[in-house]
Chain A
Amino acid sequence: MGKRKYFLDLNDLQYKQVRHSFEKKLLYAFLWIAGSVALTLTYYGIYQKHFESPKEYVLNQQIESLKLEYAIANLKLDESMKALTSLKLSDEVRYRPILQMDSIPWSIRNPGFGGVDRFSDLNSYMNRDLLKSTMLRIEELKNIANVQDESFNTIREKVDEWKFEMDHLPAISPVDPSFRLGDGYGFREKHPVLGFGRMHYGQDFSVPSGTKIYATGDGKVIESGWNSGGFGNHVVIDHGYGLISIYGHLSEIKVPEGINVNRGDLIGLSGSTGTSSGPHLHYQINKYGSPVKATNFFNNDITQEEFYEMIQAFGSDSMLR
């Protein structure tokens, strides 16, 4: 290849082959590289303006799939929110009215996090809105869940109190309901034994001697034994809530003073001890020390059969208790 190049030396008018010194070659090479790098940068600059590099493409794909994960997470958070909302509904509509509790103000249930930018450290990121909103929602849900948890704990306490009260109220008949009711609460023109008019503070049940007498509510036996005031052998149960029940004229007492009894526990057998003209049970309820109408504390809506079923259920640690 006759690729050699020549030049006309004007000094001696001869054609001479073009030769470069080593330094010049080096310089050329350097210039060539520098030029090509500059060109590369130019190319890259132009390319980048219109397209993304393969690497960026891959990275962007990754970001997109992460964003998808976030979207899924947000859907899950929606579900949590729904669950919490239905719990709140239970709380506000079902439980609180029954337990006569005030509802929790909205400002406590949903305090909000306005004002302070709690996630300002995320500000420098491209997807800051996504990141911040997700974090914020979690914070919000956590808060709602916490409030709900506390609310449920309070409700649980209240339910237990409620159940406790229901169990303690003297709310059943102390004897088989098939027996006839005797004299009730009120003024008696002629006392059967004393013979003169006197206030009768209890409810009498005409029952034969030896009839089983049951505690009408949970409580503590505060008196058990002879009563010189006329009740004869008697039992007094303190039910709390200012209520005591008195069972008088018993022939036999089955519970000592100081023990706790449950509704339906056998506490004694009826008789005619004390100021009594014949076998009967004197059943009296005192509220804060004053006698009240005992018949207002139980219903006449239960058959003999049901009564014994009930007594049996109370005694058997029934599942229903």
Chain B
Amino acid sequence: MPKSRYRFNPDSLSFDKVKLGFRAVLLRSLAYLVGSLIVAVVYYVIFAAFFDSPKEKALLREIDQLTLQYEIIHREMDNLNRVVVQLEEKDDNLYRTIFEAEPIPVTQRESGVGGINRYKDLEGYNNSNIVIETTKKLDNLKKKIVVQSKSYEELYDLARRKEEMLESIPAIMPISNKDLTRTASGFGPRVHPIYKIIKFHAGMDFTAPTGSEIYVTGNGTIEAVNSSARGLGKHIIVDHGFGYKSIYAHLDDFNVRRGQKVERGDVIGFVGNTGTSVAPHLHYEIKLNGKNIDPVNYYMNDLTAAEYDKMIEIVSKTGQSFD
């Protein structure tokens, strides 16, 4: 019923038909839009104050669940951490019982990565590198002085033999020792596992399962393949020349004969528990001109500087030897 509307015009005292111009229509619809938006916002605010939209409900449910599960996870993680700490203590105790005869009262553990840090006072040994480097340099200098006093012929001979020497002098670890975890006891005074007194340990111990391969650490000749019931048990002595000999003791079995020539890395025998030994391990000695020297300085082909430091740290910490 589109009825025309009229408006009384007091000026002309007549009724004029209400007509809206384009502008007025635009203005009106704009006003209407704005008005409706305001109304809509008001509605929304009122609605939101009392109710949640489905999407919000879903989000809230999600938050509830995440929070709940997080609490569970948190509790579980606390438990887990406690268990891990207990395990680390057990590990420490085992380690000490087996490798260090002396009980150390408080566990020295660095929190964070890895948990275990047996190699704590590693820093103290950083300088040993410098010392060794310096000694090496000094040795080199000495050699140079010696070299200059030799004739060219001798020099040639020396140079030729230098290569041979590098191949002969022990320079690797006698067993596969990834991560150095098989390093057990070092050179120097250690608690004797039976006598329980400090005795000089003339070599290095590597723990490894019976039957693990033993590698000769430099080129040389097998000087002796001995079996004895006590002491070194089944053991091999290798003559590397240049005054160097290496000894591999407590073997389970041999892989070489007396007089045989061997090259660095050859398998000469297998780890065992023969002789005076309280557990399967390899006792490794290096002799220079008949005197025992610390083998830790003769792994140059195997160890990086950092690994060397770590090795020094491990062998200085273990208080008990295995033979």
Nearest chain-A residue to B70 (Cβ)? Answer: A69
A129 close to B (CB within 8 Å): no
A63 close to B (CB within 8 Å): yes
Q: In angstroms, how far is the closest chain A Cβ from the Cβ of B196?
A: 5
Cα A55 to Cα B69 with chains together (Å): 23
Q: Which of B37-45, B144-152, B158-166, B296-304 is near enough to bind chain A? A: B37-45
Given contacts A156-B90, A314-B196, contact A93 B181 (CB under 8 A): yes
Nearest chain-A residue to B323 (Cβ)? Answer: A299
Q: Are B63 and A320 in contact (CB under 8 A)?
A: no
Cα A122 to Cα B64 with chains together (Å): 12
Given contacts A87-B88, A94-B207, A125-B62, contact A310 B278 (CB under 8 A): no
Nearest chain-B residue to A158 (Cβ)? Answer: B94
Q: In angstroms, how far is the closest chain A Cβ from the Cβ of B210?
A: 7
Cα A180 to Cα B280 with chains together (Å): 32
Q: Are B69 and A306 in contact (CB under 8 A)?
A: no
Q: Are B103 and A319 in contact (CB under 8 A)?
A: yes
Partner of B207, one of A97, A172, A306: A97
Q: In angstroms, how far is the closest chain B Cβ from the Cβ of A60?
A: 7
Given contacts A7-B6, A145-B84, contact A77 B195 (CB under 8 A): no
Q: How many chain-B residues does the 8 Å CB contact rule pick out? A: 86
Q: Which of B113-121, B127-135, B242-250, B262-270 is near enough to bind chain A? A: B113-121
Nearest chain-B residue to A125 (Cβ)? Answer: B65
Q: A-contacting residues of B (Cβ < 8 Å)?
A: 3-10, 15, 18, 36-37, 39-40, 43-44, 48, 52-53, 55-56, 58-63, 65-67, 69-70, 72-74, 76-77, 79-81, 83-84, 86-88, 90-91, 93-95, 97-99, 101-103, 112-116, 179, 181-182, 191, 193-197, 199, 207-210, 212, 229-231, 273, 276, 278-281, 322
Q: B-contacting residues of A (Cβ < 8 Å)?
A: 2, 4-8, 15, 18, 36-37, 39-40, 43-44, 48, 53, 55-56, 59-60, 62-63, 66-67, 69-70, 73, 76-77, 79-80, 82-84, 86-87, 89-91, 93-100, 122, 125-127, 131, 134-135, 138, 141-142, 145, 148-149, 152-153, 155-156, 159, 162-163, 166, 169, 171-172, 293, 295-299, 301-302, 306, 309-310, 313-314, 318-321
